[in-house]
Amino acid sequence: MTKVLIADKLSPAAVAIFKDRGVEIDNKPGMTKEELLAVVDQYDGIAIRSATKITADVIKAAKKLKVVARAGIGVDNVDIPAATAAGVIVMNTPFGNSITTAEHAISLMLALARELPAANASTQAGKWEKNRFMGVEITGKVLGLIGAGNIGSIVADRAKGLRMRVIAYDPFLSPERAQDLGIEKVELNDLLARADFITLHVPMTPETKNILSAEALAKTKKGVRIVNCARGGLIDEKALKAAIDSGHVAGAALDVFEVEPAKENVLFGNEKIVATPHLGASTTEAQENVALQVAEQISDYLLTGAITNALNMPSISASEAQKVGPWIALASKLGAFAGQLTDTSLTAVEIVYEGTASQLNTRALSQAALAGLLNPILSGVNMVNAPLIAKERGIKVSEVRRGQEGAYEGYVKITVTLGNGSTRRVAGTVFSDGRPRLIQVKDINLDAEFAPHMLYVVNEDKPGFIGRFGTLLGDAQVNIANFTLGRSAPGQDAIALIEVDGQVPDAVVEQLTKLPMVKMAKALSF
């Protein structure tokens, strides 16, 4: 039975989803790392929030693990490279707390503009410092978004409702999308120079780390106010303190910090700083939403193969999984076919998708093909880690998509280039019965089903071959279940694909290679 560990506290409704879907669960929030390491090998999936850390050693110990899903956006507590290398899918729930996080950013901006936290503390201390707290209006001010994705676009919408003018720096923001959002797309330096308020909505990457560095802060408009509800480390905290102390930056509102929990920080103790303890996603609605989403996502993947919000795999919906499933099986088997015939290093792989195959999720198909190709050569390769392994070994992978040109409505062709310059070519399709078929090997047309045990034979097309071949297998007690032939031209190279009832012994394969007219014989398994 499929088994999932809930390692952090989730809503009872999320627990109910797992049970209703027939997934066995162990609900054990608050485990120590040692406790986790002791039991993690029992589980197919793990559901977490921010507390549990899925490190490389945890992944190494999790022999059955297929998926880790984070209820929330940030996955800083998951070693994604280690998970990918181990073939473990990592998911998050980027939309369940988007509104909550966006609202928190707007709240912090308003609190910062009107100095509300300091005014509150002063008033509750019995003071009445009406003239001390002179805030600023936000109406008509320029809001600079660094990142205009899901959360950033919600912030933009709310800010426009507050009559702010919104500009955005986001390399992935298209002019059309900017127009739809009613915002102006700008370069970073332009944003820094023009924005009265800056709010950050980007993930932590090598490119975004300290995106507001001392140098960047020096380029900002004097009196700018900065909000960060995204990730600690996007702002150089020491540089921000210096900019506030100098009066260049009027203040900052921060929900995230470089080191969390932030029990101490260089920015603390300054009335110009509004600080909250990473509350961006912390509303009742958001917590419920992400918990429900993570339960559905894990269940969908483990039970149906549907992949949603994965960070190291292409997404495949439940309905798409049914449609693309036979083609994934085909791509995997074609790759395995080529891989089992490869006896030297690989340098390149080209995968051609024609007709109906070109309209599918070709990224998923390519990963399946790569996994099939590399698995006979390297152990532990699967759809998740195959692209990484291919890249590490310098294998160039390319895709070609085109409309229908031949007799088949759709097909997949894999061409493998070996280190000696030679190539291996194999093509297949999926018929209406949903079963993958082999339709071409070495540019020789044929029609064969894949079977658990097969023989692949290249021979000269001359009389007597089939008789001698069949006799040898009969003498060796190898039963033929199916026999498919194809040839390039009369009297030239021919290919035989033979389905047999069991694994063919190496000694029998060796005898086959010694038959007259036989150029190659190879036992295959699928």
pLDDT digits (tens, 9 = 90+) for 323-377: 888 898 899 999 999 988 887 778 899 999 999 899 888 888 998 899 889 888 7
Question: Would the pLDDT of 312 be above 90?
Answer: no
Q: Among 256, 337, 397, 310, which Cα is nearest to 88's?
A: 310
Question: Would the pLDDT of 121 be above 80?
Answer: yes
Look up residue 450 and give its two tokens: 């894949």
Among residues 231, 237, 258, 437, the one annotated as catalytic is: 231
Q: What mean pLDDT is predicted for residues 391-415?
A: 87
Give pLDDT, residue 502.
86
Contact 33, 12 (CB under 8 A): no
Contacts for 400 with CB less than 8 Å, ≥ 6 apart: 350, 351, 352, 353
Contact 293, 93 (CB under 8 A): yes
pLDDT digits (tens, 9 = 90+) for 51-61: 999 999 999 99
Give pLDDT, residue 379.
67
- Angle of the 318-340 helix axis to the 362-374 helix axis, nearest 10: 30
In the chain, what are the domain boundaries? 3-96+285-304, 98-275, 316-450, 451-526
Distance between CA atoms of 291 and 297, rounded to whole angstroms? Answer: 10
Look up residue 142 and give its two tokens: 């320029």
What's the whole-model pTM score? 0.59
Question: Would the pLDDT of 320 be above 80?
Answer: no
Among residues 35, 129, 215, 260, the one annotated as catalytic is: 260
Give pLDDT, residue 490.
80
Give pLDDT, residue 343.
73
Look up residue 154 and give its two tokens: 């919600």
Residue 409 designated active-site: no
Give pLDDT, residue 470.
86
- Angle of the 284-304 helix axis to the 98-113 helix axis, nearest 10: 150
Tell me what the pLDDT averaged over the chain comes to.
90
Question: Would the pLDDT of 380 be above 80?
Answer: no
What is the CATH topology of the domain spanning 3-96+285-304? Answer: Rossmann fold (3.40.50)
Contact 412, 351 (CB under 8 A): yes
Contact 290, 72 (CB under 8 A): yes
> Is there a shared CATH topology between the 98-275 domain and the 316-450 domain?
no
Give pLDDT, residue 483.
85
Give pLDDT, residue 155.
96
Count the neighbouring beta carbons within 10 Å of the beta carbon of residue 101.
26
Q: Among 83, 102, 364, which Cα is nearest to 92's?
A: 83
Among residues 104, 158, 225, 278, the one annotated as catalytic is: 278
- pLDDT over 90 percentage in the chain: 50
Question: Would the pLDDT of 269 be above 70?
Answer: yes
Bigger pLDDT: 461 or 159? 159
Residue 201 designated active-site: no
Q: What mean pLDDT is predicted for residues 414-422?
A: 87
- CATH number, domain 98-275: 3.40.50.720
Residue 258 designated active-site: no
DSSP secondary structure string for all residues of 110-164: HHHHTTHHHHHHHHHTT---TTT------TTPEEEEE--SHHHHHHHHHHHHTT-
Contact 166, 185 (CB under 8 A): no
Q: What mean pLDDT is predicted for residues 192-215?
A: 93
pLDDT band at 481 (very low <50, low <70, confident <90, very high): confident
Give pLDDT, residue 405.
79
1.10.10.10, 3.40.640.10, 3.40.50.300, 3.30.70.260: which CATH number matches 451-526?
3.30.70.260
Look up residue 100 and give its two tokens: 């909550």
Whether domain 316-450 has CATH 3.40.50.300: no
